[in-house]
Amino acid sequence: MFLRGFVKSFFIVLILFGVGALTYKAAMHFWGSSYNSAITGTEEDIISEPIMTASIDDVSKNLIYCYDDNGKITKIVLEVFHCKNRRLTYVTIPLRTQFTMSDILYRKLALVQPDIPQVIMLSTLSEYLNSDIVYDYGVLIVEDLLDIKVSYYTAIPQSIYETIFVEDNQEKIHTSEDDITSMEQSLPFERFSDDYTEFLQTLQTEEELSTYIEEVYPDITSNLTVTDKMNYLESYCNTPISNVSFALIEGENKNSAYIIDRALAVRQLSELTAAKE
């Protein structure tokens, strides 16, 4: 009787175990497939969603990067082009610029690079962000820093950049409380080289400028297509070289970093984007 009872109990336990195993496998098959689909869908959404979408604006703001042979960003210049007024300004944003990201932006970047600090210097962008996303997220950082909406970005190899821009210096005038005027040397800003200025003056027609853009575009990286770039062609051609200017973003050059004066910088950019008769 004991043996019969033991065998009967063993078969009951075996049946219960089998039912439990089958139930577990069925549940994992159903929920596992749903979970994997959800995860895959989320990743696809993140990958397919553009970080920064280019736009064609009447007052375009093109964030220009210069990068070296290692892909490291070495210069940042904001090109502000007022199409209606035919006014073109290049505003240098020093790589020594240090600022504190907003909480919203910091949380967004922390998902991509958990090690990125909230207080960041622009010169370290290439250290924290991969080359395939650094330009897009660099735009978000500059937008957060200057309270502007960037139209598109253009990344130029250093070998080409140095044929277009050279460093220049400007002096800031300070008047003390005793009305004693002093001069302070600020950080250098970027301007066109003399050779490039002369070259631009040789482009007399839209066809010549169009040919130049088509030739140089394969060698640069931009989220604005060459076709969309051509929307600015007529305005570029009608902009005299005398309407091209260069500036340094408003701020203070300290020993440790360049600190942008946000109020002055916002006013500076507002004046560049404002309509003038």
Over residues 157-166, the pLDDT tens digits come to: 999 999 999 9
177 dihedral zone (left: phi>0; alpha: psi -120 to 50; beta)? alpha
User: Is residue 116 predicted with pLDDT exceeding 50?
Assistant: yes
Task: Look at 15 and 31; give whichever has higher pLDDT.
Answer: 15
Q: Please, is 31 exposed, middle or buried when counting C-beta atoms within 10 Å of its C-beta (0-12, 13-18, 19+)?
A: exposed
pLDDT score for 37? 38
User: Is residue 93 predicted with pLDDT exceeding 50?
Assistant: yes
Q: Which of 9-13, 34-38, 123-127 is predicted most confidently?
A: 123-127
Cα→Cα distances 132→17, 55, 66, 71, 201, Å: 52, 20, 15, 10, 35
Residue 150 CA to residue 98 CA, distance in Å, equals: 19
pLDDT score for 21? 52
Q: Which amino acid is at 226?
A: V
User: Burial letters for 117-126: b for 16+ Cβ neighbours within 10 Å, e otherwise?
Assistant: eeebbbbebb
Alpha helices (runs of H) in 62-205, residue ranges in sequence order? 103-112, 125-128, 134-146, 158-164, 194-202
pLDDT grade, residue 51 (50/70/90)?
Answer: confident
Residue 61 CA to residue 78 CA, distance in Å, equals: 7
pLDDT score for 169? 77
Give the dihedral sign, CA 263/268/270/271: positive
User: Burial letters for 231-240: b for 16+ Cβ neighbours within 10 Å, e otherwise?
Assistant: ebeebbbebe
Q: Give how far the C-alpha of residue 27 lies from the chain's centroid of Cα atoms, to the nearest Å.
A: 45
Could you tell me which residues come within 8 angstroms of residue 46 by beta carbon, excluding any fewer than 6 positions away? none
Over residues 15-26, the pLDDT tens digits come to: 555 555 555 454
Helix and strand element counts for the chain (H, E)? 10, 14
Q: Read off φ and ψ for residue 35, nearest 5 degrees.
A: -65, -45
